[in-house]
């Protein structure tokens, strides 16, 4: 404990206290919803969507901070530290995440969600496909892949605290996990979005400050680039240090995973259910794109430039905390490191809420104990239990972390995308999409992604995710076309008019 940097620790502890305060503030709205006349729908609508009242700025912040996570603030810069500017270029494919999510899903998604009273993505899929198999498969996929994704976030937060404060990794892991679980359980979606907004502001200020400090310490951009080239010329090329690793085909296809296909991540797409009005939607698209550009470009450039300023670190994931504590006084470093920590917490609390909601709202209340829907107090107890079980599972996965968490995070996101992308998009826009096609798409998407990851990680030189998504799309269309189309009620619910032909 003698090596603890208390100057860095104190601002971070204050940040944790603010997050706890937000949770307790939001608990008031959850309690009001629990005691309202509409105990079933009112409670879940508040707990899972914040009563659908997000304004444009809050929508942008919660959307961006939910997706930009430990991979973007710890693992991404860590990879840029080892691969150079090529990884910075690749990471910028994530910039239009908010635009694609809100533009692709658009107003129709929010209107349908309100119409069918959907508070989770699985609610939407249940109403669209009317299939227990679709609900169960997607719910299990959320739980399994989100545990892996959340483990990546917990690892990132723990390494940040380990590298900047000097805490033992396991102690840092325990403290962060308890904070996230308590904050999410007591405040629900409203606590998550309020804290996301605070965290988004912290992230933006921290990114700009650390970037400027890095440029000054490195003697200017030109001098930094020259020094990077002297270390390894591959650091300043679009193709990275490792020869044959970042080819044009692979980099281009990587955009599918971190760009367009992000629409298929439930914790991200659920935000498109929750905005207040059309003005908020348009503001969310505009602000979200600008904020994404600042955060992604700033932090990944810092990671790449850091090769000229720090050396001898055990893992690339430690580069941001190590560099920050080197460039700034302890108190300032602690304040700035709340930025990356905020990005991690804003992602993991959203994922935890989705995973817990899946177990309670989509599985337990529909297939194990339907009567509990009318007892909000029991639902609250089951939610706490489910969240605790998920938290323990995440802790066990994060206990022995991989060297670079960016790969664990990307693997989990790809699994989720393989499950949800086409059932969401085609379910929203293609009338003939049916449950048989959705099941074929989900099973083929997940199985081929897992298979290719092991035996053919770069099919035809493309990123692993591309071929599984193409296969699952083709099978979705073929199977839906040769089997019974959706019933009249479903078509009228989603399109307002029914045609036999």
CB-based contact 343:70 (threshold 8 Å):
yes
In the prediction, which pLDDT does 30 show? 53
CB-based contact 94:72 (threshold 8 Å):
yes
In the prediction, which pLDDT does 501 show? 44
Q: Which tokens sit at 206?
A: 């921290």
d(CA 158, CA 337): 12
Q: Which tokens sit at 438?
A: 């959705």
d(CA 200, CA 138): 30
In the prediction, which pLDDT does 376 show? 63
Kindly report whether the global pTM for this prediction surpasses the value 0.85: no
Residue 54 phi/psi, 5-degree rounding, is: -75, 130
Q: How many CB atoms lie within 10 A of CB 175?
A: 17
Q: Which tokens sit at 123?
A: 């609610």
d(CA 354, CA 124): 13
In the prediction, which pLDDT does 159 show? 78
In the prediction, which pLDDT does 292 show? 82
In the prediction, which pLDDT does 361 show? 72
In the prediction, which pLDDT does 27 show? 62
pLDDT in tens, the chain (501 residues): 457 888 888 888 887 787 767 766 666 655 555 555 554 555 555 555 444 555 566 666 666 666 666 567 777 888 899 889 988 988 887 777 767 777 777 677 878 888 887 777 888 899 999 999 998 898 888 888 878 778 877 877 887 788 778 888 888 888 888 877 776 766 666 666 666 677 778 778 888 999 999 999 999 999 999 999 999 888 998 877 776 677 778 877 877 777 777 777 777 777 777 677 777 777 777 777 888 888 889 989 999 999 999 887 766 777 888 898 889 988 888 888 776 776 677 677 777 777 877 887 778 887 787 776 666 667 767 777 887 788 788 888 787 765 555 556 667 777 888 888 999 999 999 999 999 999 999 999 989 988 888 888 888 888 888 999 999 999 999 999 999 999 888 988 888 765 454
Placement of tokens 């009567």 in the chain: 371
CB-based contact 20:183 (threshold 8 Å):
yes
Indicate the burial class of 311 (C-beta count within 10 angstroms; 0-12, 13-18, 19 or more): exposed
d(CA 147, CA 471): 26
d(CA 108, CA 350): 23
- pLDDT tens, position by position, 49-85: 444 555 566 666 666 666 666 567 777 888 899 889 9
Domains and CATH numbers, the chain: 6-405 (1.20.1730.10)
In the prediction, which pLDDT does 380 show? 66
- pLDDT tens, position by position, 333-383: 888 877 677 667 767 777 777 787 788 777 888 778 777 666 666 776 777
d(CA 416, CA 39): 31
Q: What share of the chain is helix, strand, coil (3-state, %, to 5)?
A: 80, 0, 15
């Amino acid at each position: 404990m003698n090596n603890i940097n208390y100057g860095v620790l104190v601002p971070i502890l204050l940040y944790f206290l603010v997050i706890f305060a937000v949770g307790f503030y939001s608990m008031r709205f959850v309690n009001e919803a629990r005691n309202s006349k509409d105990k079933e729908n009112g409670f879940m609508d508040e707990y899972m969507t914040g009563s659908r009242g997000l304004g444009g700025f809050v929508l942008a912040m919660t959307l961006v901070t939910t997706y930009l996570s430990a991979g973007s603030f710890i693992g991404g810069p860590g990879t840029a530290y080892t691969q150079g500017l090529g990884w910075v270029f690749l990471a910028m494919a994530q910039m239009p995440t908010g635009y694609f999510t809100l533009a692709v899903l658009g107003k129709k998604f929010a209107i349908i969600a309100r119409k069918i009273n959907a508070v989770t993505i699985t609610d939407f899929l249940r109403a669209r496909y009317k299939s227990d198999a679709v609900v169960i498969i997607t719910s299990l996929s959320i739980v399994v892949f989100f545990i892996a994704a959340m483990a990546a976030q917990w690892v990132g937060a723990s390494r940040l605290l380990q590298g900047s404060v000097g805490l033992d990794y396991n102690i840092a892991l325990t403290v962060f996990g308890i904070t996230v679980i308590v904050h999410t359980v007591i405040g629900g979606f409203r606590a998550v979005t309020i804290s996301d907004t605070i965290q988004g502001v912290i992230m933006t200020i921290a990114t700009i400050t650390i970037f400027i400090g890095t440029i000054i310490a490195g003697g200017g951009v030109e001098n930094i680039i020259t020094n990077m080239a002297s270390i390894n010329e591959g650091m300043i090329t679009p193709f990275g240090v490792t020869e044959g690793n970042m080819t044009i085909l692979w980099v281009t296809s990587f955009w599918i995973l971190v760009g367009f296909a992000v629409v298929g991540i439930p914790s991200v797409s659920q935000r498109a259910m929750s905005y207040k009005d059309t003005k908020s939607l348009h503001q969310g698209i505009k602000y979200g794109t600008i904020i994404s550009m600042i955060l992604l470009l700033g932090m990944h450039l810092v990671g790449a430039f850091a090769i000229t300023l720090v050396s001898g670190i055990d893992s690339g994931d430690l580069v941001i905390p190590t560099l920050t504590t080197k460039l700034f006084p302890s108190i300032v470093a602690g304040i700035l490191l709340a930025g990356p920590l905020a990005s991690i917490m804003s992602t993991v609390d959203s994922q935890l809420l989705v995973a817990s909601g899946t177990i309670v709202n989509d599985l337990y209340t529909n297939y194990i104990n339907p009567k509990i829907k009318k007892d909000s107090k029991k639902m609250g107890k089951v939610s706490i239990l489910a969240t605790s079980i998920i938290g323990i599972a995440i802790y066990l996965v994060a206990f022995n972390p991989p060297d670079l968490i960016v790969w664990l995070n990307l693997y989990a996101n790809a699994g989720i995308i393989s499950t949800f992308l086409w059932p969401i998009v085609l379910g929203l826009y293609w009338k003939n999409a049916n449950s048989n096609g959705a099941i074929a798409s989900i099973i083929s998407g997940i199985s081929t992604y897992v298979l290719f990851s092991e035996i053919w990680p770069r099919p035809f030189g493309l990123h692993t995710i591309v071929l599984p998504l193409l296969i699952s799309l083709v099978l979705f269309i073929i199977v839906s076309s040769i089997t019974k189309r959706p019933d009249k009620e479903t078509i009228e619910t989603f399109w307002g008019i029914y045609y036999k032909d």
